[in-house]
Amino acid sequence: MIQIFQWSKRMFARIFQSKKAPEQTLKITMLGARGVGKTSFLAAIYDQFDKIVGQANLQLTIPDDLTRDVLDQRLTELKNFVDKNKNVKVTDGTSKTTSPRSFFFDLGKTGVSPSLRLEFQDYPGGYMDESEATSEQVKSVENFIRESAVVLIAIDTPPLMEKEGEWHEYFNQPETVRKLFKKAYQNLDSPRLVIFTPVKCESYVQNDRDASNLLERIREKYATLLEFFSADELRSKVAVVVTPVQTVGSVIFSRVENKDGTPYFYFRKGDSADKYQPKDSEQPLRYLLRFLLRLHLEKRRVPIIDSILNFFGRDTVLKDAISEFANGCKNTGGFSVLQGANLLRINRN
């Protein structure tokens, strides 16, 4: 039954989707160690966008079968992961990325050919593991960071928050992330947006106090990276935000068990009838578009995305739709602009 549904979904997408490719492509790098949940996050965007966008006159489509098939598979895994278990282990149920791959999303006005292609570059977690990655693999990640206007840093939240962050280094590798940025962000000639995206964070954003604790832990555990972004040469060029994404939405952290030196994180559903229901999966996309729109309105020269910014100016309806969508950026409950608020203001007055 699931296979029939997925096939039907692909057929309808092909019928109603224009074959004309967007004129512009925006590169986005996704950073995160093995098993952090980068592909699951993209699957949540894919699954939830139409339900969230409302009357903003925007649509998000998938132009290629590979992206669609991978995300359909991940969605099936995630839904089964939730439906079949009341107590679940974080390493259960989802496949891992084994080679570099790009995920493509086409964005545009509802009912017309898409205007902008978003290319999310994902890497196997091993490419960030200094003990196993080759110099060529590390260099490929550095190069894509350098070429990307936006970088998403996916954070595995339970290792960050539990046991005083005892397993944070092991799972999230913040020092490796800092080294990558230090090499990639040399002599920047244009603004960049960095989005810290805590995933599997359901237990840590249930109230304002917990959300504040999450933000403080991010500031503490990524202090050296944040100091690098705030250096004189980068402070005016790098906007930094935090956008928690409840990847599944219906499970909360239960416990961590250490077995032979390996930690296993367990989660539980609040109610056995709860289903897969991610929350805030679109927030990084809202901030991304807010950043692009701000640069366009500012008429700033941005070499790596000049053509995209000029294209915004040729389509007032699209610009208004993006502005409406971007106005939905959250700034409370764990969401925060840590640096570069001026690069995210879109007040036209």
- Sorted by where each begins, the domain ranges of the chain are 26-343
Provide the residue-wise pLDDT of the chain in tens; the chain has 349 residues: 445 445 444 544 444 444 566 768 899 999 987 778 888 889 999 998 888 876 678 889 999 999 999 999 989 888 887 776 556 555 543 455 567 889 999 998 888 888 889 999 988 777 776 677 788 888 888 999 999 999 999 999 999 999 999 999 988 999 999 999 999 999 998 999 999 999 999 999 999 999 999 999 999 999 999 999 999 999 999 999 999 999 888 787 888 888 887 888 888 877 767 788 899 999 999 999 999 999 888 877 788 888 888 777 777 888 888 888 999 999 999 999 999 999 999 875 4
| Structural fold of domain 26-343 | Rossmann fold (3.40.50)
Is residue 191 a contact partner of residue 343, using CB atoms and an 8 Å limit? yes
Measure CA 72 to chain center: 17
Whether the full predicted model's pTM is greater than 0.85, yes or no, is yes
Plot region of 340 (φ>0 → left; ψ -120 to 50 → alpha; else → beta): left
